[in-house]
Structure 1
Amino acid sequence: MNLSPNKNFCLIVNPHGGRKKGLHLLSEIQPIFDTAGIKLEVIVTEFAGHAREIAKQKDLVGYDGMIVIGGDGTMHEILNGLFTREDQQTIPIGLIPGGSGNSLIVDLELTDPVDAAKAIVDEHIRKFDVVEITTNGRTVYSFNIIGWGLVTDVGIRAEKWRWLGPARYTIVSLLKVLRGTQARSAQLILDGKEIADEFTFVMVCNTRYTGAMKIAPQAKLDDGLLDVIVLRHGASRLKLLSLFNRIYDGTHVEDPVVEYYTASQISLTSNQADPLNIDGELTGTTPFDIEVRPRAIEMFDRRKEKCQNRLVISGKGGQSVPLC
């Protein structure tokens, strides 16, 4: 079903995201909305945090949705702006891939900007989960990942190599593995079950993908659960390299050294205040508490919402859980 005429959208474009193609993408997709009779109010972000400020403060009355041209960082800002509004008003979000990391858009299978624009015009709206993280006495909202340990080490180093685009994560990860990984002691609690040990990393995932890496192949955006990938310390460099080669197709989770859990409430306490990687942003430290806000945000998607079951992996067994 196409959107009826006289629809109004606020479109936020990050001209500096990814390879700085945001304004070019706008010119590419503008005709699609013009043909559908949809009016766009275009706002170009001017500084880091501007998208968050717009999403938090803009009067949303009269708008049928918010379109974002950018990557994971811009989407992270939009999410945290919307969910900290004083009026608690939300609005459907349409995402056009324009960043160096487009994890959410890969999960939605809308990596082509034209396809993403058409999904908005066709008004396929679905509700997705939002992740609420409490860290350092404040609340941060996430749609993608919360990483701790090696995952954050890679993110910190990769910030200096942004000019390489998504490839920077691959290169830095390999360098880190070859130089040896750090053991971190922590207490991880998954829905009341405690795991205390030394870890290489823990990654909490709402999406299947992080960039091009299929980190959590069982993850669903709307099942009320988070997929937790755990790697305890002790795996050899050779083992880590073999896992890295399999991370792009998701088969790394089949290796016995990789533990895969699902949970809706998660906390982690480490022996020191370690930094976190939240949706690719280096923000917050341990300890942290996480809770899922099921189906708390509306987004435009190519598919109409439908019910299906998923296999939830939890240690040795699994259970079938309805998505809606």
Structure 2
Amino acid sequence: MKSSHKNTFLTTPPRACSLIGKRVTQTAIKSIPKSIPGEWRSRKISRKRFFMHRHVIQHIHLITNPKGGVGDNLALAEQARKFFFSHGVSCEVHSTAAPGDATQWSAEIPQKPQTLICAMGGDGTMHEVINGMMQREATLRMPVALIPGGTGNSFMEDLGLIHPRSAMESILGGSPQPIDLMECGLDGAIEYAFNVCGWGMMASGNQRAESMRWMGRSRYHAAGLLEIMHCRSNHAQLEVDGKDLSAEYHLIAASNSRVVGKGMLMSPHAKHDDGLMDLLMLKKKGRRTLMRLFKGLANGTHIQDPSVEYQQIREFRVRTPQSNCWNIDGEVRRANEMSVSIRSGLLNWWLPEKR
């Protein structure tokens, strides 16, 4: 395996390199640990070559939603292309024109080594990219990443990478890390969620927020307040890890990340790689209780309220007597039944190196 010294840039700088994109130096090479992983050691390569091939991205397919968010995503995509090019990484921009385009591109772009599929938009765009990638054979899947360009970027807010520039820099300084996905069966049809899936007020509130996009990210809070005013609840046959918890519920929501909407800390203990999903259940209550819980979403104190049931689980199933609205990563779906199970480490996401 040959490596070009001219075109190879650090994407996982060692202790000796503090600047993202800095070229390999003799100082950097000397800082590489002498203990090389077995898969590389068996190939009898040098420490220098191990470092230079460790986590190098050479090409990025950037799938952008020009209508996502409140800014100009096409202009942002061009900024990203120039940024990556200046660091020795080629970038090809794909602009979506209709729902499903991101899914199709993610599923059909030829698999190549050192290539990244990156979404630019909100949670909806990333949802399509992930589900397109999951249509591939496991051996043909490529790492994915996200540059925030939408009004809903809950997962990136969880990582502290809500600004596009910081997300771009994290890609250069990152590595492929396995994340969990929630496998959602909606009346038998399989769909994957990386952030949240929910029923009841969680879904109807999201559907309401979609009709208020002119408000930007503030629409999530406005939609939540309107849902509290209506105070709707429905009976649900709920089974959690084999236990029957059927009752009248306002909402049932599972998360793989801590934040939803605009900075709402719905699941403060959630992690994207712990092999669990955090399930929040709220049985029928009055408007005063709902308002108190809504206020607690700002700092996650709502889970301490006796009205809320909060568990870390592996699977659950919800059945309703009639077709209902569901929220899958902000996408609206309708079905009578949803079964959800956590799939640990199912996909590689290009994330900042863990310290």
TM-score, length of structure 2 as denominator length: 0.81
Question: Paired residue for 1:217?
Answer: 268
Higher RCO (Cα < 8 Å, 6 or more apart): 1
Alignment equivalent of 1:257, drawn from 299, 307, 326: 307
Give distance in 1, aligned partners of 2:174 and 2:90. 15
Give yes or no for contact 1:16–1:22 (8 Å, CA) kept in 2.
yes
Aligned ranges 1:125-204 → 2 under 5 Å = 125-179=176-230, 181-204=231-254
- Shift in Å, 1:89: 2.0
Counterpart-to-counterpart distance in 1, 2:313 and 2:113? 38
- Counting aligned pairs with the same residue, the percent is 33
1:43 aligns with 2:110: no
Gaps of 5+ in 1: 307-324
Alignment of 1:23 onto 2:31 = no
Cα gap change, 1:259 to 1:64, in 2 (>3 Å):
same
Taking the aligned partners of 1:303 and 1:86, their CA distance within structure 2 comes to 27
1:116 and 2:167 correspond: yes
Aligned partner letter, 2:226: L
1:85 to partner: Cα distance: 2.5
Which whole-Å CA distance do the structure 2 matches of 1:150 and 1:56 have between them?
A: 32
Matched position secondary structure for 2:110: coil
Inter-partner Cα distance in structure 2 for 1:201 and 1:174: 14
The answer for the alignment partner of 2:352 in structure 1 is: 302
Say which one has the larger Rg: 2
Residues 1:31 and 1:195: Cα distance change in structure 2 (over 3 Å): same
SS at match of 2:344: strand
Structure 2 counterpart of 1:92 = 143
Q: 3-state SS of the aligned residue for 1:277?
A: strand
| Letter in structure 2 aligned against 1:67 | C
Instruction: Tell me what 1:320 maps to.
Output: none
Deviations 1:297-323 (A, max 9, x none): 11122232x7xxxxxxxxxxxxxxxxx
Distance (Å, rounded) in 2 between the aligned partners of 1:172 and 1:123 = 36
In the comparison of the two structures, how many residue pairs are matched? 303
Q: 1:65 to 1:35 in 2, by over 3 A?
A: same
Which residue number in structure 2 is paired with residue 315 of structure 1?
none
Q: Tell me, what secondary structure is at the counterpart of 1:167? A: helix
Give the alignment's Cα RMSD to 1 decimal: 1.8
- Runs (5+) with no aligned partner, structure 2: 1-8, 12-51
Which residue of 2, 11, 17 corresponds with 2:10? 2
8 Å contact from structure 2 (residues 273, 345) kept in 1: yes
2:294 maps to amino acid: F
